[in-house]
Chain A
Amino acid sequence: MIVTQPLPILREPTARHPAKLLMVVIAFGLLYGAVMGSYELRNDRLLQVMFSACKVPLLLLCTFSIALPSYFVLNTLLGLRDDFADVLRTMIQAQAVFTIVLASLSPFVIVWYASGVEYPLAIVFNGVLFFISTLASQMALIRLYRPLVTRNENHRRALKFWIVIYSFVGIQIAWTMRPFIGAPELPVRFFREGAWSNAYLEVLHIIGQAMGR
């Protein structure tokens, strides 16, 4: 079932059961996560594969549930409350598209790792694939929103807000949930010590250092 699910999800804005879509998000997220964690695979790093596999669906579901309440309020304010069931289904479907695209890109990660790249390049490559999948899912989201937008123009405004808040939350959660790949010389951990910092302040700090020089 899991294998045949993705095909119609990609093509059609279908009224699917959200629980099934969630299964797709979890299954394909696990798949990509496992591949992502297989960098420098050794016996003592098998645990990292499992950790990374769990982290990808967790990352998506956490970001989604944190961003959702404010989106619900915004929809209500814009007078779109009656459509919210459709909106929610659309959002979950976009998440499913994201994980399917990500999983379909996972063979590239295997080739990339097999070429014996350095750890920073492995991170960058995974970042690029996440970026591509995000673009693809945004594209799908905009298409899925088309019937809603024809019903009420305000949906387009709401969608813009969603994209901003979702990326804002997602970046911070991804930062908190490091390491996704795990530096080969460090011991395998689910969370990195001292991970509870702020991604945006970190970036500011790095820019500050660069300017100071």
Chain B
Amino acid sequence: MILWVRQLDQLLRGRLTTQEQLDEKGVDVSSPGLALVLILLGGIYGVCMGTFAVAGSGSGQSMQLLASAIKVPSLFFLTLLVTLPSLYVFNALVGSRLTFTPFLRLMISATAITMAVLASLGTIVAFFSFTTTSYPFVILLNVATFSLAGMLGLRFLLQTLRKLRVGEASTIPAVSEERLPPVQPISDEQLSELTSELKDSASATRYVRQQPSPADRVRKVFVIWIIIYGAVGAQMGWILRPFIGSPTQPFSWFRPRGSNFFEAVWSVITHLSR
């Protein structure tokens, strides 16, 4: 456990994602270990989030603490579960070199960064939950912390992706002088044959060259994915609510379905300004 927490610390410091380190070993973390740390950190933030329910102005339901502690890690894992298969497939389709295990490690690391930031903001959320009576304010505060944590995690993802050089062909090992074939003189006939062959392959490469490089396409796929990840995460949060617990409603594990996250945030903002 301590080893995995240390791994997360190294990740946050950026020591595991220096260019030399990545060239040598890739993202060198343990996916199951980090996943465990993730669950713990998510649980901590969930408890902080649930404190509004037990604070003076909440509904006083202590079950909300437990519910939120389970829901926050589930939110992240379910969102990853939904969005990872398609990201992996498209990533492979556009010609990335990233295979499944390194891919999984990269994604878990990015989520770990997000969670670490989120958990570190937990105390602030708990403090405001105790001191504020406004339910809409607490909701918006949580939306803000989730967005901030998400943005930092995704920035890490894009930066590491660039350093991983997923679009380039694997490095060609240096060839020593002796192993090269000896130079042989060739006749004019052979020369003209070779030239025409070269011309053919040149026209073939021109056709290939028009395509953008794999690195660009992989990056594009990830950027599109980030937008989808955000939208799915927000909607997943909406399906799993309540996280905070409305002061006017009794405790329940889930609320009836319907509406969506974006509509709800808008209505909370308009309520706040009234």
Q: Could you list which residues of chain A lie within 8 angstroms of chain B, going by C-beta atoms?
A: 6-7, 10-11, 97, 100-101, 103-108, 110-111, 114-116, 136, 139-140, 146, 149-150
Top 6 nearest A-B pairs (CB, nearest first) are A116-B257, A107-B82, A104-B85, A10-B92, A104-B89, A104-B86
Find out whether the CB atom of B89 lies under 8 angstroms from the CB atom of A115.
no
In the complex, the answer to whether A111 meets B93 with C-beta atoms within 8 Å is: no
Asked if B239 and A10 sit within 8 Å, CB to CB, the answer is: no
Given known A-B contacts A114-B257, A115-B235, A7 and B92 have beta carbons under 8 A apart: yes
Which A residues are CB-close (under 8 A) to B83? 107
Which residue of A106, A108, A110, A149 is within 8 Å of B207 (Cβ)? A149
Whether A108 contacts B86 by the Cβ 8 Å rule is yes
Q: What bracket does the count of chain B residues touching chain A fall in?
A: 20 to 34
B229-260 interface mask toward A, CB cutoff 8 Å, 1 = contact, 0 = none?
A: 00010011011000000000000000001101
A149: nearest chain-B partner, CB-CB? B207
Can you name the residue of chain B whose Cβ is closest to the Cβ of A132? B86
Q: Is the CB of A101 within 8 A of B86?
A: yes
Binary CB contact string for chain B from 71 to 90 against chain A (1 if under 8 A, 0 otherwise): 00000000001110110111
Q: Are A139 and B93 in contact (CB under 8 A)?
A: yes
B83 nearest in chain A by CB position = A107
- Nearest-CB distance from A151 to chain B (Å)? 10
Pairs across A and B, CB under 8 Å, 8 listed:
A7-B100, A11-B95, A105-B85, A106-B85, A107-B82, A107-B85, A115-B257, A116-B257
B235 engages A111 (CB within 8 Å): yes
CA distance A110 to B99 in the complex (A): 26
Residues of B close to A10: CB separation below 8 A:
89, 92-93
Closest chain A residue to B94, Cβ basis: A139
Determine the chain A residues whose CB is within 8 A of the CB of B207 once the complex forms.
146, 149-150
Residue of A nearest to B200 (CB): A150
B183 at interface by CB-CB < 8 Å: no
**Which residues in B have their C-beta under 8 angstroms from that of A97?**
93
Q: How far is the CB of B87 from chain A (nearest CB, A)?
A: 8
A101: chain B residues at CB < 8 Å are 86, 89-90, 93
Given A104-B88, A115-B260, A136 contacting B93 (CB threshold 8 A): yes
